[in-house]
Chains A and B, each alone.
Chain A
Amino acid sequence: MTKKKLLLILCGLSLPLQSMFAARLEVCPSCSYQTIHSALENASDGDQIIIKSGLYREGNIQVTKSVHLLGEGWPVLDGEGQTEILTITARHVLIEGLEIRNVGNSYIEDRAGIRLRNTRFCTIRNNRLVNTFFGIYLEHSADCVISGNEVLGEALEENSSGNAIHCWYCQRLTIRDNQVYRHRDGIYFEFVDNSQIFGNTSKDNLRYGLHFMFSNDDYYYENRFIQNGAGVAVMFSKCIDMDHNIFASNWGRASYGLLLKELTDTDIRNNSFRENTIGIYVEGCSRIDYHHNEFKQNGWALKMSGGCLDNHLQENNFIGNSFDLSTLASAGTENTFDNNYWSEYSGYDLDHNGEGDIPYLPMKLFNQIVQQTPEALILLRSLFIDLLNFSEKVSPVFTPENIRDLHPKMNPYTLNIRS
């Protein structure tokens, strides 16, 4: 046996020893500790505090030691609308199985159900947060995992709501498998780098399901964003890759499935945009690749505003959208559309190579009219507009020639998309 192996075995043997030294402190009305406060006072680093089911009204609880707070049978920590509940400033803290309720709203402080401040290596998992102004609030923290939590807000008005999971100046976070409902933003990232967000469901939030501001090198995948004010907004950021997400049913005047503003160097693939007012709205974005996405039954599949360079759309499915594309005529040379499937395409394929023989022009004349005069939308689906579009298709005069797909597919792609 080599020395190395022996060392490994010794290390393995000593691991259970460590947990033997960790004390178990139980909290319940008939236990040795009646309050979480008293248990925390007597705990030392590495201890486990088991909170038995019951109702605990202890106001704000400061966690300044590296302990595990574990709930058994869903104990309830109630803030009675007065205070923030858990404030964690120690490292290596684990919070699990708690129900946290009723944090009061405040204009001056951003109160939260669970706050992590200047800490690292903490885990918040499988908790239930109900009616907390801000749910889980991380500031100046790194290497934390937030997983399997349910954060249920009661936001009906925007001025009285916080964000479900709010991260500010953080590094290397993992946000996974959470359910966030009825807040201002479901998940909010401001100055957060090198983090991952996956498997979450964000629904019925007033503003955005997920919101990035000034954040770089993050990756989000396999999330669902449903019925939010707008699905996801990515702003003033770099390298935010996104794949296998679902953006659905984001309807409204200022609603988008995905809003991209001043974003660069990003890959957007295998996402599904269904039934949104605008699938993707792009403004001032460069070097973005969109491929293998599905745009289905949106008002506008894609709206591209000024200042967009090097946006490339390839091998996407555009199915049954009222408008496939709305953009400026000058955008054609800087942004490309190639090898996509467009359900509106009515060309032919004489050589049977699967590609249409004539290019598809996604910008219709009516589209341009609506862009200039939004009220003209009322004429959508009228015979007059159909005639207008048809005559324009036969002999294009107004539609920009340079915005076109030279190789439109005859059949939709089979895409690897979550249902």
Chain B
Amino acid sequence: MKLLTLLPFTFFLLLTACSTEPRPIEYGNEACFSCKMTIVDPQHAAELVSDKGKVFVFDAIECMVEHYKKVPDQSFAHILVNDFHNPGAFLNATQASYLISPQLPSPMGANLQAFSNLDSATEMQSAKGGQVLNWASLLEK
């Protein structure tokens, strides 16, 4: 009987243990998984959450993409980048639009920024110049 009452509790524990939710980055305290730099820039930071719930944090989108391409067999529950116009708000990286502009430096020298939609990316492109990309074309770069 006692064991039976414990059962839902164990179930609950199992479920929460396997959470694949993203978590906020601790700016100033965490180091980039790929380049080891301390993450301080919420405009460019990125995050990967594996299908088993392991969280990888990155200081720049280019670091995240580099790691993503290194592990083709790994599947991810979340691929997240920050919105250039709204730092701190994660975007789904596969849906975001990207701009590579030499006028806008990013932490690892790729001059790469992410935007929530194509319009704001092209708007920034007309102001600063550069090349607009989507997730698929970004992976090919």
A68 contacts chain B at the CB level, 8 A cutoff: no
| Residues of chain B with a CB closer than 8 A to A107's CB | 43, 84-85, 87
| Residues of chain A with a CB closer than 8 A to B35's CB | 235, 261
| Residues of chain B with a CB closer than 8 A to A191's CB | 109
| Residues of chain A with a CB closer than 8 A to B108's CB | 213
Whether B38 pairs with A230 at a CB distance below 8 angstroms is yes
A253 CA / B57 CA spacing, docked (Å): 15
Whether B29 pairs with A206 at a CB distance below 8 angstroms is no
| Residues of chain A with a CB closer than 8 A to B87's CB | 107, 159
Which residue of chain B has its CB nearest to the CB of A159?
B42
Interface size class of A (residues with CB under 8 A): 20 to 34
Which residue of chain A has its CB nearest to the CB of B42?
A159
A254 CA / B40 CA spacing, docked (Å): 12
What does DSSP make chain B's interface, helix, strand, loop or mixed? loop
> Interface code A164-193, partner B: CB below 8 Å = 1, 0 otherwise?
000010000000000000001000001100
Q: What is the number of residues of chain B that contact chain A, defined by CB distance less than 8 Å?
A: 20
Whether B109 pairs with A254 at a CB distance below 8 angstroms is no
Whether A158 pairs with B40 at a CB distance below 8 angstroms is yes
| Residues of chain A with a CB closer than 8 A to B30's CB | 253-254
Whether B40 pairs with A206 at a CB distance below 8 angstroms is yes
| Residues of chain B with a CB closer than 8 A to A252's CB | 29
Whether A254 pairs with B42 at a CB distance below 8 angstroms is no
Whether B105 pairs with A206 at a CB distance below 8 angstroms is no
A235 CA / B36 CA spacing, docked (Å): 10
A206 CA / B109 CA spacing, docked (Å): 20
Interface members, chain A 144-171 (any B CB < 8 Å)? 157-159, 161, 168
A107 CA / B43 CA spacing, docked (Å): 8
> Interface code B75-105, partner A: CB below 8 Å = 1, 0 otherwise?
0000000001101100000000000000001
> Interface code B15-46, partner A: CB below 8 Å = 1, 0 otherwise?
00000000000011111000111101111000
> Interface code A191-207, partner B: CB below 8 Å = 1, 0 otherwise?
10000000000000011
Q: What are 22 A-B pairs with beta-carbon distances under 8 A?
A: A107-B85, A107-B87, A157-B27, A159-B40, A159-B42, A159-B43, A159-B87, A159-B88, A161-B40, A168-B105, A191-B109, A206-B28, A206-B40, A213-B108, A214-B109, A229-B40, A230-B38, A235-B35, A252-B29, A253-B29, A261-B36, A281-B36
Task: Beyond A208-B38, A229-B28, A252-B29, list 7 extra A-B contacts (CB 8 Å).
Answer: A158-B28, A158-B42, A159-B87, A235-B37, A253-B30, A261-B36, A283-B36
Task: Enumerate chain B interface residues (CB-CB to A < 8 A).
Answer: 27-31, 35-38, 40-43, 84-85, 87-88, 105, 108-109
